[in-house]
Structures are given as structure tokens and as C-alpha cells.
Amino acid sequence: MSNEVSLRVFQDNLRRILMMAPLTIKTSISEASLSCSQSEDSTLLLGKNCSGDRIPVLGFDPGYRCGCKWAACDARGEVLSTGVVFLSSGSTKPPSECRGAAEFITAITTNRISTIALGSGSGYREAEKWLNELIKLGSFGSLKVRYSMVVEDGASIYSASPLAAKELPNLDVTIRSA
């Protein structure tokens, strides 16, 4: 029963939030008196009056021990590429030198992905800091990359389900959660 509920929640989030991408930039929401710092300029906030156009998106599932999984998808939801980034917490290395970062940056720039769906799970804050650094350093060239935190509830249950195996047969179960 709880698996079914989690799966429905995940499917609803995927359909409503990721695939329809109703996103606006925080700084453009005039009716909400938000005070945005420089680091928040790259954050997206859900908006009610958005067109619902489908856009390419990169799903980013933060993690510590096994790294942060990501999947780049086109506007139809087809998976273009996947990978894993290992964030170096406490390191003085630039964020672009983390293991797997080059592939991540290449996937975004090659596929012209300007929206990242950042999962809310373990390692979210570290991943957010890492993304902000990449954006601030201009790692994506002229591409204006933004991200939004998305709730991960049900993602791991879905990724191990028979439905996920049927829908994404070529992806490892650990990558499906992204």
C-alpha cells in the first residue's frame, strides 16, 4: 500500500513538476517580496502562471558514499546521458575538478540544458553549494543554468519497481532515481 502511494506521488511529481517544468526565476516574482542574495539568483521557484512548456531537464540525485547520480533528459523525457559526480567536501579543489564533473558539465552544455531538478535527499545542501559554485564560475559557458529543489519522496521506490524497469530498461536501478 505505501509503495503504491509513494509511486503515485513520484509519478505525479514527475508529470507536474519535471516534465511540465512550471518554473520561474525567484527574482522575477514581484508580488512576493523576496530578498534574494547572489547565491539565490540561480534558484528556481515554482510559479502558478507558467506556460507549462516542455523543456530539457537534468535530474540530480545527491548522495555521499556512492556519489550524486544525474540523468539528462530531452523535452520528451527521453534519457540523453547519465553519470555520477563525487563531490569533494572540504576540498580546496575547484568544483569542476570533482570526479565526474567534466561529464556533467559536458552533458549540460552539449544538450543545452538550462534547468536542473535537484533532489531534496541526503547531500542536498552540499550539492546545492557545488552547483552554485559551478554557475558562479561560469562553468556552463554562455548557458544560463538554473536549478530547483524537487521532493524525492517515492523516487527510490519507483526506481526499483517493475514499472521503472519496464520504462527505463537500459538504466541501472541506481541511476533511475535521478
Model pLDDT for residues 115-138, shown as the tens digit of each residue? 999 998 888 999 999 999 999 999
- Whether the full predicted model's pTM is greater than 0.85, yes or no, is no
CATH number for the domain harbouring residue 26: 3.30.420.140
Which residues are 71's β-sheet partners?
59, 82
Report yes or no: 95 and 133 within 8 Å, Cβ to Cβ: yes
Residue with cell 521532493: 151
Alpha carbon separation from 165 to 11, 27, 68, 175, 177 (Å, rounded): 14, 39, 20, 11, 12
What domain range includes position 108?
2-33+40-176
Neighbours of 1 (CB within 10 A): 5
Rg (CA), the chain: 16
- Polymer length in residues for the chain: 178
What is the b/e burial string over 92-101, where b = at least 16 CB atoms within 10 angstroms of the residue's CB? eeebeebebb
pLDDT in tens, the chain (178 residues): 666 666 666 666 666 655 554 443 433 333 333 333 334 444 444 444 345 568 899 999 998 888 899 999 998 888 899 999 998 766 667 888 899 999 999 999 999 999 999 998 888 999 999 999 999 999 999 999 999 998 887 777 777 788 878 887 787 777 777 6
Beta strands (DSSP E) in the chain are 23-25, 44-46, 57-61, 68-73, 79-85, 115-119, 146-150
Give how many domains the chain has, as a whole number: 1
Nearest in space to 108 (alpha carbons), one of 132, 78, 137, 139: 139
